[in-house]
Amino acid sequence: MNTKPLDVLLVLAALASPVALTPAEDTAASKKENAPAPASIPLEITIDTTEAPEMAEWAAQAKELCLKNYVMILGHLGAEGFTPPDKVKIVFKNMRGVANASGRTITCAAAWFKEHPDDYGAVIHELCHVAQSYRSRVPSWVTEGIADYVRWFHYEPPDKRPKVNPRRAKHTDSYRTTAAFFDWIVRSKDKTFVTRLNASCRAGKYKPELFQEYAGKMVEELWAEFIVSIGGTPGGKRARI
């Protein structure tokens, strides 16, 4: 069986700033304020497009963006004493869905990225999962919310940030909704919230009481306050103006 040689690139990411390098400008000051600075990070990314050779060029660009943004990701998801993964494999498959991460391997659905060639953020999201490196059970809405927080509030441009419907949303909706909720907590309660929450999840110490410990209130109370902040009422209805 003929196989395509794997494309391997070793990059030493010398840290200048935890700010993301994105296709569009973002507010650098807020990123610097929220992200602790990690040390320089060696990262080796292997790309495998054997099943979808037509994705080779797109994959190369995705790899470059991952390499450029890994320091930023670890600025939010790193922790003292944590040794981040230094080898990552990105594989393109003929499969359904978008992408997923297992250990240090990111698997991407070739068809999705053919149809959505601007969706590099989905790969950044999966690289966040690699950096999370959880070894014990964490509620999926927390796991996905943290990864999407980094993606939508520190990688994607501001005009793409998620809008939450106060009438229908719940904090456990995961992904963009939970990401927006976590961003509000970071901005209004504690700028280290996501970093601390992520570190506890990685250490196998997640518990609902962490919201009280890190942000001053239980999660339901914080959610009710967040809903009010976006024009709703604690019961989920939009407030009359």
How much of the chain, in percent, has pLDDT values that exceed 90? 79
E strand intervals along the chain: 7-13, 41-48, 87-93, 99-102, 105-109
Nearest Cα to Cα of residue 106 among 46, 174, 39? 46
CB atoms inside a 10 Å sphere around CB 214: 17
Asked if residue 64 lies in contact with residue 11, where contact means CB atoms within 8 angstroms, the answer is no
Nearest Cα to Cα of residue 209 among 197, 198, 199? 197
Whole-number Å distance between alpha carbons of 154 and 22: 9
- Which residue intervals of 18-120 are DSSP H helices? 28-34, 56-77, 110-115
Whole-number Å distance between alpha carbons of 148 and 91: 21
Asked if residue 89 lies in contact with residue 130, where contact means CB atoms within 8 angstroms, the answer is no
Please give the helix or strand (H or E) that residue 160 lies within, else none. Answer: none
Query: How confident is the model at residue 201, as a pLDDT?
Result: 98
Going by C-beta distance under 8 Å and a sequence separation of 6 or more, which residues neighbour residue 169? 177, 227, 236
CB atoms inside a 10 Å sphere around CB 2: 4
CB atoms inside a 10 Å sphere around CB 210: 17
Confidence of residue 26 (pLDDT cuts 50, 70, 90): very low
Between strands 105-109 and 87-93, the pairing is parallel
Give me the residue label for tokens 């999840």.
201
In the chain, the amino acid numbered 82 is: F
Query: How confident is the model at residue 181, as a pLDDT?
Result: 98
pLDDT > 60? residue 237: no
Lowest mean pLDDT among 11-20, 208-217, 232-241: 11-20
Whole-number Å distance between alpha carbons of 220 and 233: 13
Where is pLDDT greater, at 176 or 11?
Answer: 176
Whole-number Å distance between alpha carbons of 141 and 127: 17
Query: How confident is the model at residue 92, as a pLDDT?
Result: 98
Q: What is the mean pLDDT of the chain?
A: 86
pLDDT > 50? residue 31: no
Mapping DSSP onto H, E and C, the string for 226-238 reads HHHHCCECCCCCE
Query: How confident is the model at residue 42, as a pLDDT?
Result: 79
Give me the residue label for tokens 């990262």.
43
pLDDT, tens digit, 9 for 90 and up, residues 173-213: 999 999 999 999 999 999 999 999 999 999 999 999 999 99
pLDDT, tens digit, 9 for 90 and up, residues 97-143: 999 999 999 999 999 999 999 999 999 999 999 999 999 999 999 99
Whole-number Å distance between alpha carbons of 232 and 136: 35
